[in-house]
Each structure stands twice: as C-alpha cells, then as structure tokens.
C-alpha cells in the first residue's frame, strides 16, 4: 500500500512537471500575465504603482551629437527596468531657444520635463507665465527622494519664487566667468606671448582683422564680449531682469545700489567700442541671424578665437589641436585680477511642465538621471568602452568614440551631481590641460566675496505686460546696439531709451529695486 501511494505521488509530480513545461515559464512573483503583459499594481517605485509604461518627453538645449540616440537607447533600457518608462528627447538649438522656448508653453506643446536656468535659461519668465509645476517638499520626497537627499538646502532656497520651488537645481560649484580660446599660431605671428587683459585682446583682434583674409577675430560671436566686459568692470546682471538692463557692483558686498544700464557710463563706452570693432570686421554681419554655433568658426579656422565657459573652451581648443595641431590653440582669462563669482545652483536645472499628464513618472525619471550612477555616466560621457573608459570609481579616460558624443556636451547639466561626476584622468597633460588647470586654480584661489544680490532673482509677475514690451524692444534695439550694428551710437542709445520708456522700463526698475530691498531685509542685511 505504501509503495502504491508513493507511485501515485510520483505520477502526479510528473504530470505537474510536464504541464509546467508547456506553460509560460513564469517565475514565482512574476508581474506578467500569461500574455506577458504587466499586471496592474504589480510594479512599484517607492510604493507607487508604475505598472503602466510611460514615455516621458524631455526638452534640452543645443544640438544633439552624432551618437546621442545610441547612448539614450542604453539609458532607456535602464529606465524601463527601474521606473517602467523611457525618454523621448527633443532639442531647442542655441540659435532658436530664445524665441521658441516660451512658445512650447503658450502653444500647448505636449511634453513633461525641460532644461531651465536662472537668467539665461528662461526660468523666471516661464514661472511668471505659469509654465512650470510648483514642487513641494512632500512631492519631491515622494517621487524623487534621492534628489531631495542630494540637493543642498541653499539650492532649494535659490530655486524658490514667491514661496514655491519650480525647478530641481543642479548640484555643483560652477564659475560664472568666460574664458577665451585663441589660435596660438596667430598670436606668434603678431608677436603676442600672452593675452591677459582686455586691452591686449582688443589689440590682437585688431591685428587679425587688418592682417588676415578669411579669418575674423570672433566669427559670428557678435555679442561674445558683453559678459567679459561686465566682468572686467566688476558688475553683474540682476538675475531674472531683462537682458543686461539692471546691474549691481558684484565685487563690493556693501554696495546695494542697482543701476539702470543706460545710466551706467560703461554702457555707452562699450557700445562705441563694439561699433568700432564691428566696423573693422571683428565679427560677421550674420551674427544676429546665423544658425552657426559659437564654436563652429573656431573649429573650421574662420575665427581666431571663441568665448565660452572654461570647460567648453578647453574642450574645443583640445579638438582644434587634435585636428589642426599647427594652430596651437590655447586658453586665457582676460580679467585675471577680478575675483570670480561662483554661480548659483539654479544656473542649471530641470523643471516639470505644469501641463504634463505624467508629472509623477517624470519626477521618477529625473530622480534616476540625477542619482543613478550608471545613467549619470551614460548621459555625461556616453557608452563605456566606446566613448570612454573608467579609471577607478571617479575618473575616466577618453576613447576615439568620444568625438561622436562628447563630455557633458548634450545638455545634461540640469542634473549635474558633484557626488557622481567623474573627472578626466590625464596621464600626459597637454598645454591646453595645463593652462585650463592654471585658470581654474587661480579662480578657486580668488573667489569673490558673496554679495547679497548674487542669490537674488527678480520675479517679473507684477510687471508681465511691461516685460513683454521690453523684450520686443531689446530684440529690435538693444541687441543690435551691443553687437555694434546699430549705426550712430549716441542716436541709437537715445532711441533705445525712448522705446524702453514707452515700454514701461521705469515700472520694471521700480519693481526690481523694491524686490531687491525686500530680499536684502529678508536675509538680514
């Protein structure tokens, strides 16, 4: 009897085994049904149901590199596994983002996340028009808890407008100063051993314009000298205010005055200087309408220099020396005696579209971009083994494939995380590497004193009508003027002043000063 029971039991086990072999081979706890579809409620992220797959649309600035789609295909594999989502990335080019950014919101474009930045990257203006979702502490902690634990409190404070947070700021110390990359062979030709001042640079540009055919000093970068000029004079723009119309003395922390640019003596001086430069051919007449990127002329050899942040000019100088070593590209800081400002954390960031229907999943995706090391490395450096090779846990070396993706070249700056960011391992530094490090070391050794207005961001919501009118005036009158293309300078400034007055600039100026005073008092000054 005992043998018969055992025999029946074994027979049943065999039948079960055979049936299992004909089934879908699901593992215990598998979240799929017999057709392979994910069951509702079976996948979760921090306790939140993510069973429904989502595609998150992300807008970035610039132009995507050759291997961008290949890199993001790898990112999407990880996102699919982590949050059951993928990203569809769209770009606004450098030449069009000023005009098209706001249209994404006013036109009802269907997207979820977008790069933003204080001042230059449409942050304050878009908050004013209601384009960004307000992010509460509880919301961030629920859908992006790792970000909340990473971003310092001061960064959230800087991102706050009228009591609400509208962006996830990046986390890094970034200098708010430009450097210049220069053709060293042309320096040698005209007898320059260094370019370490504004006057030296302009003299060099004059020699290039007079002596070279097919090479202009700045290509299409007609407005490239404006920020270096302001820095050289120790003044900075009030963040969130229109263009460069309101300035403060950034090197004197006890000076709380705010100056209207047209009343600043340096404004007319600058406009007359750039008018003379333009007339001499320092940059192309296409500067106001070109779709060419600022580095293109330098890489092609049609411009003798380019301005940008130190990291970018280093990258393009290195590319020039690799492709044309005879050009001997090098880097300079033309205001070495001026202490440099560290940018606020909201100089780069990511915001959620207030009209997005997938806000929660979008935040989960951003949490992965910001704090998942594998995704972070992909977005920053590309595919390991193709674009780069790891050196330990926090360094990298570049491979030949880097040319098709670049380092931090695809607007991944909005989620820069200093805890995850790798630095380049350079076994045999080039002259460009050495010069770059020398510049950064000097900046770190002479960081300017904090000014209360370094963290102040103007909120234009009370003067939205005036701001819209002023923006139109800026594009028609201000921009040509500061590019040297407005004809008679005194007459052009007078016309600009007249048009700004009609547009309501005084109301904006009054509101700027009012908010700045309130901000100063709120910070105990």
Q: Which of 454, 472, 506 is the last residue of a domain?
A: 454
Please write the tens of the pLDDT for every residue from 343-366. Answer: 889 999 999 999 999 999 999 999
Please write the tens of the pLDDT for every residue from 51-65. Answer: 999 999 999 999 999
The rounded percent of the chain whose pLDDT value lies above 90 is: 77
What is the pLDDT averaged over residues 489-499? 98
Residue 204 sits in the same domain as residue 328: yes
Please write the tens of the pLDDT for every residue from 412-468. Answer: 999 999 999 999 998 889 999 999 999 999 999 998 988 989 888 888 889 999 999
Q: What is the predicted pLDDT for the residue at 42? A: 65
Residue 238 sits in the same domain as residue 296: yes
Q: What is the predicted pLDDT for the residue at 498? A: 98
Has residue 163 got a pLDDT over 70?
yes
Residue 213 sits in the same domain as residue 326: yes
Query: Residue 212 is part of which domain span?
Result: 178-339+426-454
CATH number at residue 356: 3.40.190.10
Q: What is the predicted pLDDT for the residue at 41? A: 54
Residue 443 lies in a domain: yes
Residue 419 lies in a domain: no
Residue 507 lies in a domain: no
Residue 291 lies in a domain: yes
Residue 259 sits in the same domain as residue 310: yes
Q: What is the predicted pLDDT for the residue at 456? A: 86
Neighbours of 320 (CB within 10 A): 24
Reading the block at residue 390, the tokens are 């790891």
Whether the Cβ atoms of residue 370 and residue 363 lie closer than 8 Å to each other = no
Residue 170 sits in the same domain as residue 184: no
Residue 319 sits in the same domain as residue 442: yes
Cα-Cα-Cα-Cα torsion 79, 85, 88, 92, nearest 10 degrees, comes to: -80
Residue 143 sits in the same domain as residue 227: no
Higher pLDDT, 525 or 431: 431
Residue 313: name the closest of 244, 218, 231 by CA.
218
Q: How confident is the prediction for the chain on average, in pLDDT? A: 90
Q: What is the predicted pLDDT for the residue at 92? A: 96
- Give me the residues paired with residue 395 across strands: 391, 423
Question: How many Cα atoms within 13 Å fall on the side-chain side of residue 500?
Answer: 23
The domain tally of the chain equals 2
Residue 246 lies in a domain: yes
Residue 5 lies in a domain: no
Q: Is 19 exposed, middle or buried (0-12, 13-18, 19+ CB in 10 A)?
A: exposed
Please write the tens of the pLDDT for every residue from 73-118. Answer: 999 999 999 999 999 999 999 989 988 999 999 999 999 999 999 8
Residue 259 sits in the same domain as residue 324: yes
Q: Which of 358, 385, 412 is the last residue of a domain?
A: 385
Residue 103 sits in the same domain as residue 166: yes
């Amino acid at each position: 009897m005992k043998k018969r029971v055992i025999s029946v039991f074994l027979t049943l086990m065999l039948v079960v085994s055979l049936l299992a072999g004909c089934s879908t081979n699901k593992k215990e706890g598998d979240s799929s049904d017999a057709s392979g579809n994910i069951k509702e409620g079976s996948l979760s992220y921090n306790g939140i149901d993510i069973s429904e797959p989502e595609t998150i649309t992300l807008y970035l600035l610039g132009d995507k590199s050759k291997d961008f789609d290949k890199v993001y295909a790898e990112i999407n594999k990880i996102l699919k596994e982590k949050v059951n989502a993928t990203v569809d990335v769209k770009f606004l080019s450098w030449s069009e983002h000023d005009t098209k950014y706001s249209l994404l919101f006013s036109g009802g474009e269907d997207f979820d996340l977008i790069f933003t930045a204080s001042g230059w990257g449409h942050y304050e203006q878009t908050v004013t028009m209601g384009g960004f979702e307000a992010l509460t502490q509880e919301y961030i902690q629920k859908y992006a808890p790792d970000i909340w634990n990473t971003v310092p409190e001061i960064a959230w404070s800087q991102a706050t407008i009228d009591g609400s947070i509208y962006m996830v700021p990046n986390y890094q110390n970034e200098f708010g100063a430009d450097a210049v990359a220069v053709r060293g062979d042309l320096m040698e030709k005209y007898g320059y051993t260094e370019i370490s001042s504004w006057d030296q640079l302009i003299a060099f540009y004059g020699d290039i314009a007079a002596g070279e055919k097919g090479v202009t000093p700045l290509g299409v970068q007609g407005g490239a000298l404006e920020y270096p000029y302001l820095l050289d004079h120790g003044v900075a723009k009030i963040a969130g205010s229109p263009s460069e119309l309101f300035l403060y003395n950034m090197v004197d922390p006890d000076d709380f005055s705010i100056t209207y640019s047209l009343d600043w003596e340096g404004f007319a001086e600058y406009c007359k200087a750039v008018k003379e430069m333009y007339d001499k051919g320092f940059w192309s007449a296409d500067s106001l309408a070109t779709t060419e990127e600022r580095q293109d002329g330098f890489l092609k050899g049609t411009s003798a220099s380019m301005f940008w942040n130190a990291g970018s000019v280093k990258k393009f100088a290195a590319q020039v020396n690799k492709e044309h070593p005879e050009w001997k590209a090098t880097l300079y800081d033309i205001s070495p005696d001026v202490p440099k400002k560290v940018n606020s954390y909201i100089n780069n960031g990511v915001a959620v579209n207030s009209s997005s229907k997938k806000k929660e999943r979008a935040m989960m995706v951003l949490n992965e971009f910001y704090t998942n090391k594998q995704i972070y490395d992909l977005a920053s450096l590309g595919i390991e083994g193709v674009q780069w090779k790891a050196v330990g846990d926090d360094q990298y070396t570049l491979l030949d494939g880097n040319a098709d993706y670049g380092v931090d070249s695809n607007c991944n700056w909005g989620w820069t995380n200093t805890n995850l960011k790798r630095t380049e391992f350079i076994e045999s530094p080039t002259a460009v590497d050495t010069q770059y490090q020398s510049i950064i070391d000097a900046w770190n050794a002479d960081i300017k004193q904090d000014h209360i207005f370094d963290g102040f961001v103007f909120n234009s919501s009370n003067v939205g009508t005036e701001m819209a009118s002023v923006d139109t005036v800026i594009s028609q009158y201000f921009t040509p003027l500061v590019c040297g293309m407005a004809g008679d300078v005194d007459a052009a400034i007078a016309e600009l002043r007249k048009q700004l007055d009609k547009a309501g600039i005084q109301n904006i100026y009054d509101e700027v000063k009012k908010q700045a005073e309130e901000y100063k008092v709120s910070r105990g000054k």
